[in-house]
Amino acid sequence: MAPSVARASARQESPDPTYRLHRVLTSSDAESGRKARHTYGRRKGHPLTASQVQRLDVMMPHLRPDLSGPAPAPLTNVFGPGIRDVWLEIGFGGGEHLAWQAAHNPDVGMIGAEPFLNGQASLASHIEDGGLANVRLYDDGVQDLLAWLPPASIGRAFILFPDPWPKKRHIKRRIVSPKTLVALARVMVPGAELRVATDIGEYVRTTMLAIHNSPDFIWPAMGPAEWCERPADWPPTRYEAKAVTAGRKCHYFRFLRR
Ligand SMILES: C[S@@+](CC[C@H](N)C(=O)[O-])C[C@H]1O[C@@H](n2cnc3c(N)ncnc32)[C@H](O)[C@@H]1O
Query: How far away, in angstroms, is 14 Cα from ligand 1 center?
Result: 31
Query: How far away, in angstroms, is 13 Cα from ligand 1 center?
Result: 31
186 in contact with ligand 1, CB cutoff 6 A: no
- Determine which one of 140, 163, 216, 233 is catalytic: 163
Nearest CA to ligand 1 atom 16: 39
- Check residue 41 and give its pLDDT: 82
163 in contact with ligand 1, CB cutoff 6 A: yes
Task: Say whether 163 is catalytic.
Answer: yes
List the beta bridge partners of residue 193: 156, 256
pLDDT tens across the length of the chain (258 residues):
444 434 433 333 333 333 443 444 444 344 434 444 567 888 989 999 999 999 999 999 999 999 999 999 999 999 989 999 999 999 999 999 999 999 999 999 999 999 999 999 999 999 999 999 999 999 999 999 999 999 999 999 999 999 999 999 999 999 999 999 999 999 999 999 999 999 999 999 999 999 999 999 999 988 998 999 999 999 999 999 999 999 999 999 999 999
Rounded Cα gap, residues 105 and 152, in angstroms: 20
Query: How far away, in angstroms, is 36 Cα from ligand 1 center?
Result: 15
- Check residue 12 and give its pLDDT: 36
Nearest CA to ligand 1 atom 11: 91
Using DSSP, state whether 152 is helix, strand or coil.
coil
- Check residue 38 and give its pLDDT: 62
79 in contact with ligand 1, CB cutoff 6 A: no
Task: Tell me the domain boundaries of the chain.
Answer: 3-257
Concatenated DSSP letters for 109-147? EEEEE---HHHHHHHHHHHHHHT--SEEEE-S-HHHHHH
The candidate with the shortest Cα–Cα distance to 194, out of 223, 165, 220, 166, is 220
Rounded Cα gap, residues 108 and 153, in angstroms: 12
162 in contact with ligand 1, CB cutoff 6 A: yes
Nearest CA to ligand 1 atom 4: 93
Query: How far away, in angstroms, is 95 Cα from ligand 1 center?
Result: 10
161 in contact with ligand 1, CB cutoff 6 A: yes
- Provide the whole-model pTM: 0.88
Task: Look up the CATH architecture of domain 3-257.
Answer: 3-Layer(aba) Sandwich (3.40)
The candidate with the shortest Cα–Cα distance to 88, out of 194, 208, 231, is 194
Decide: 145 and 111 in contact? Cβ < 8 Å.
yes
